[in-house]
Amino acid sequence: MTQDQAKAGFLDKVSWNSDSLVPAIAQDFKSGRVLMMAWMNRESLALTASEGYAVYWSRSRKSLWRKGETSGFMQKVRELRLDCDGDTVLLLIEQEGGIACHTGRSSCFYHLLQEDQWQVSQPVIQDPKAIYK
């Protein structure tokens, strides 16, 4: 077994879904807040592990998505975790710029269910027009 094969072994432990993807949850390493969930393919998980920054797979663009490539808000990986049945990845990350969401909010989970309605519960930190120039 070559060194590259040994390194890639952890990718074989992942239960990729029928689209060869795995859901990846990004959690802020310091605050513990869950910031977003996106998807990874084999290449993006390998790159995330080797580069130390989150790389997802954009299902809409069908391409690798280096988080922060446009916004600058990269996610430095502190821990990579896999769940019991190998079909979900958890990333403990440092969110550069403090903004994970494309709406300019710190977290994507800003809709809170209250009285049977999703209420916006987090402020916009930076106007997306200023982020995605």
Residues that bind a second copy (CB under 8 A): 6-7, 9-10, 13, 23, 25, 27, 31-34, 36-37, 49, 79-86, 88, 90, 101-103, 105, 108-113, 116-118, 121
H/E stretch holding 77 reads: strand 75-82
4 assigned ligand-binding residue? no
Of 67 and 105, nearer to a second copy (C-beta) is 105
Nearest to 40 by CA among 7, 77, 73: 77
12 assigned ligand-binding residue? no
Give the nearest distance from C-beta 122 to a second copy in angstroms: 10
116 assigned ligand-binding residue? no
127 assigned ligand-binding residue? no
Give the nearest distance from C-beta 69 to a second copy in angstroms: 18
**Sign for the pseudo-dihedral over CA of 109, 26, 39, 57:** positive
DSSP-derived 3-state class of residue 62:
coil
Classify residue 82 as exposed, middle or buried by CB count within 10 Å of its CB (0-12, 13-18, 19+).
middle
Alpha-carbon Rg of the chain, whole angstroms? 16
Which residue ranges make up the annotated binding site for Zn(2+)? 84, 101, 108
Which residue ranges make up the annotated binding site for Mg(2+)? 83, 85, 87
